[in-house]
Structure 1
């Protein structure tokens, strides 16, 4: 007599019959539903968390890279007679051209930086000034391509560009003139007097990060040199590259290019500036994945409870099946299919729910915000304006693999118990 192949049709039929419990054995059916719903919710929570984690990192990196330099070239400086460090970049144009010639660099721009007090009528706010040319600000993605921007960036040489957060705090609109007050102004015989200049706001941008929109102001490069007493030099060179994720590979070529123009040039990448936050995100990601993996494990443990009850209720059936010639392997596969099908269906439902959550996160979050009366998301704390989610195939596959692996492994133990049941003992009292 030929031995039937593993997972033959009759094994699937028996497993399907056992999953469809009769009304009198409703406990088994209830446990199956509990296992299925538990796994679905656990997988949903895992995919939703991974999607939000990925979206948050992408949003953070995207807004940082859209309005900030990928690499900054600066001078290590020399010590003056007064004991101060002089970090002037007098050959900033040549340095910017040398950096632009490095393969992989797509943009360079000399910058002037300073901090001042901005005021309009009775309101005031501290702002960080970036002195940049009109041609260079027009190529800055997070500023020039801001969807929520108002004003005309082509008039940048006639005034200043202001972040929407600063504009909101000062009550500024396009066309208003704001005063910029710097404590380091004109040097006189009686000391340094504050410098106060008025500028027209020609452009208001939204970069997508609260800390940028709330603090940043762009000023024409030549005007910034004059305003901050830095005629003839720049503070640093802003560099953008094709692939910011591999920016570390650009450090050595940029250093070599900088050394050809001036000595003592240093490099500071966006990873150096945001490395602490990115490492914190990575640690949080790992911890959250472990915690949610435990949640999936707990959900799959319900399969064990359901199968143990099923084996107990089907003891007579197991004895009869063994008596008529069913092998231990076939019995084991029957109950393995019972548990595995629960894991597969639960995982599939969880994937569907998790993907729908990631796709429709904006209306879902708006509904939650409405129910809670608003104020659920504070951009001043989280830095971005909305809860992001980005669905990636790798995240979905990792959640599916984890859930199915745990479901299959957990199912083996009660299935083996059923297979090793002595048919004589199972039928003794029948």
Structure 2
């Protein structure tokens, strides 16, 4: 009579391991094992790489937003300039007082009055549309991505004597440090016959790279007082750029900023500006995870095929083991371990490949660029200049749990089939 043994006893591991090392003559079982192993390895590696790239892309995208734009933009609702005139303006006349009250809010790191306008930037025979931001030098130096000395060129301290320009805009115009660029605005001086365009020339004293192609291609910074005069905003500001200590929780500061701003204050956060894109990224992340999970499932299904062949080829062995006293549970655990070994080894190899690939993503992309002759990553389409990867423990853990869980589940059916095999039938024709 069969006697019960402790689950997963050493002899069960020994038998499972001997079966996995089957010879070629035994029905090609080892070939199916290698196919399963390679499939799981590639599936897990692809899942980890995708999750790392997804996390890196989102982190880089958000960082470029927060590093070169306001977390909260404060502006005023349009008000009638003169009663019954039908002329409305949203210009802030009390911008200094509002900014001071907002700065006093705990958690607010800066509140910078800002002038905004669009111009045509011209140098020699080249021209391009530019968006001008007028702000004080101290406020400009507080923008991390713009004032970064590692990526910027020129002397930012000389900003009051010129303008700062994005690197892509400077490249397209052929502008270098010290060159004078003409800026033309349609809203210039008011004359009896109408408003005439305003054209002024400014020296480029600083060229920055914010990390976002669309920002570097269009943005120009101008001293605040000069911007007031250039855009006919004397004595006022268009908006106040506010930064907080934790941009991810920016909504927590909204009521206080509204109170400090006073009547007619309106707010626009970085989430409002980029929320649709971030939601699209989240949807894409979920879809990619589901698709790659299906690929891992397909890879683990090869374990089932291999185990079914193994059970068929080892029918005589199963009959002998049962007559020697092994229980159905022991036989089931033996074949379960055969599939589990393949899943664990494939998952471990996949984690190794995925982690190494993610850590050396820059070198991999350089090789891809070399193969394609350059241009494999177009910043004008993707917004950022490089494909980033950010390994997170939770992402790796999700890939491991998915692969191991599927590997263990798919082994149950063939293992139960082996355990329920009648030893008499298995030995009848042997």
TM range (shorter): over 0.9
Specify whether residues 315 and 59 from structure 1 end up closer, same or farther in structure 2 by C-alpha distance, changes over 3 A only.
same
1:147/1:206 contact within 8 Å kept: no
1:397 aligns with 2:400: no
- Shift in Å at residue 2 of structure 1? 7.0
> Could you give the per-residue CA deviations for residues 114-168 of structure 1, whole angstroms, max 9, x where no partner exists?
0000101111110000000001101110101152211000000000000001100
Query: Where does residue 39 of structure 1 map in the other structure?
Result: 40
Local SS of the residue matching 2:222 = strand
Unaligned runs of 5+ in 2: none
Work out the CA distance in 1 between the residues paired with 2:26 and 2:113. 77
2:228/2:235 contact within 8 Å kept: yes
> Could you give the per-residue CA deviations for residues 230-268 of structure 1, whole angstroms, max 9, x where no partner exists?
000100000111111111111112112212xxx110111
Unaligned runs of 5+ in 1: none
1:210/1:384 contact within 8 Å kept: yes
Higher mean displacement: 316-325 or 250-259? 250-259
Query: Where does residue 352 of structure 1 map in the other structure?
Result: 352
Work out the CA distance in 1 between the residues paired with 2:80 and 2:343. 68
Query: Where does residue 385 of structure 2 map in the other structure?
Result: 385
Work out the CA distance in 1 between the residues paired with 2:176 and 2:417. 75
2:3/2:327 contact within 8 Å kept: no
Map 1:113-262 onto structure 2 (within 5 A): 113-259=116-262
- Shift in Å at residue 83 of structure 1? 3.4
Query: Where does residue 411 of structure 1 map in the other structure?
Result: 411
- Shift in Å at residue 410 of structure 1? 0.7
Query: Where does residue 13 of structure 1 map in the other structure?
Result: 14
Work out the CA distance in 1 between the residues paired with 2:389 and 2:161. 40
Query: Where does residue 318 of structure 2 map in the other structure?
Result: 318
1:427 aligns with 2:427: yes
Local SS of the residue matching 1:254 = helix
Query: Where does residue 364 of structure 2 map in the other structure?
Result: 364
TM-score (norm 1): 0.98
Aligned residues: 427
Q: CA RMSD in A?
A: 1.1
Work out the CA distance in 2 between the residues paired with 1:293 and 1:79. 59
1:378/1:385 contact within 8 Å kept: yes
